[in-house]
Amino acid sequence: MNYAEFRAKVKNYPVISGKLLRVLAAHAPGLKTNLQRWQEKGKVIRLRRDAYVLNPEDSQIRPSRMFLASEIYRPSYISMEYALSVYDLIPERTAALTSISTKKTMTFKNKFGSFIYQHIKPQAFTGFKQEKDEAGLSYFMATPEKALVDFIYLNRNRIKDGYKQFLLESYRLQNLETLSCKKIQRYKSLFRNTKLDMIIQKLMEK
């Protein structure tokens, strides 16, 4: 299979998955070698093992980084600093895109940037919603309240005494009055963590 033939078969797929590659390889035994060569030439971009996208010039679909984050490592949803910045709960935009997963903690780096995945307990894997990017592709994003709880839980050992002041000064949390206290309480109870409970209590005090 040459590149023109490969491009014709995959140009309408936002991500070229391992499953699709196995189907194509059944009729093209040299596909794995060709993929490596096409990657070196910039014709395909490797996201992770057995996951690629076509270069933007040859693809019919241009997926967002948010969609790619949901595809690179499943199950997962975008949370932490990236979600907090989207909701204007911290002032800075972050370059790395951090997601939450029930699988082990992993980081993937490719031409689209860094994709970080943090592990949490399955019972806390909730509090996210489906969104669509400009190409109409779906991805999952934490609600504002869950993004905050995830962030505090996964940074709890770095958070020092004087919890509220530390969070406001060190992480520059803002616009907390826009959040639902009931949702925050519900999400933090899923973790069953004493320090998280203490931090949340102090943070939400008026």
Residue 92 pLDDT level (bands cut at 50, 70, 90): confident
Residue 94 pLDDT level (bands cut at 50, 70, 90): confident
Tell me, what's the pLDDT at 156? Answer: 95
pLDDT tens, position by position, 40-53: 999 999 999 989 99
Residues whose CB falls within 8 Å of the CB of residue 70, separated by 6 or more in sequence, listed in order: 76, 77, 78, 99, 138, 139, 140
Residue 95 pLDDT level (bands cut at 50, 70, 90): confident
Tell me, what's the pLDDT at 143? Answer: 98
Q: Which two tokens stand for residue 134?
A: 């400009």
| Other residues' Cβ atoms within 10 Å of the Cβ of residue 178 | 11
Alpha carbons 120 and 124: distance in angstroms, whole number: 7
Tell me, what's the pLDDT at 85? Answer: 96
Alpha carbons 201 and 183: distance in angstroms, whole number: 13
Percent of the chain with pLDDT over 90: 91
pLDDT tens, position by position, 130-161: 999 999 999 999 999 999 999 999 999 999 88
The pTM (predicted TM-score) of the whole model is 0.92
Alpha carbons 203 and 206: distance in angstroms, whole number: 8
* 65-204 to CATH, choices 3.40.50, 3.30.1490, 1.10.287, 3.30.460: 3.30.460
From residue 43, how far is each of 48, 55, 59 by CA, in Å?
16, 5, 10
Average pLDDT value over all residues in the chain: 95
Edge-to-edge order in the sheet of strand 51-54: 16-17, 51-54, 44-48
Edge-to-edge order in the sheet of strand 138-142: 106-110, 113-119, 97-101, 76-78, 138-142, 128-132
Query: Where in the chain are the domains?
Result: 3-54, 65-204
Does the pLDDT value for residue 206 go beyond 80? no
pLDDT tens, position by position, 2-13: 999 999 999 999
For the chain, report the end-to-end CA distance as a whole number of angstroms.
65
Tell me, what's the pLDDT at 93? Answer: 83
As a three-state string, the secondary structure of 131-143 is EECCCCCEEEEEC
Least confident range from 21-25, 94-98, 114-118, 131-135: namely: 94-98
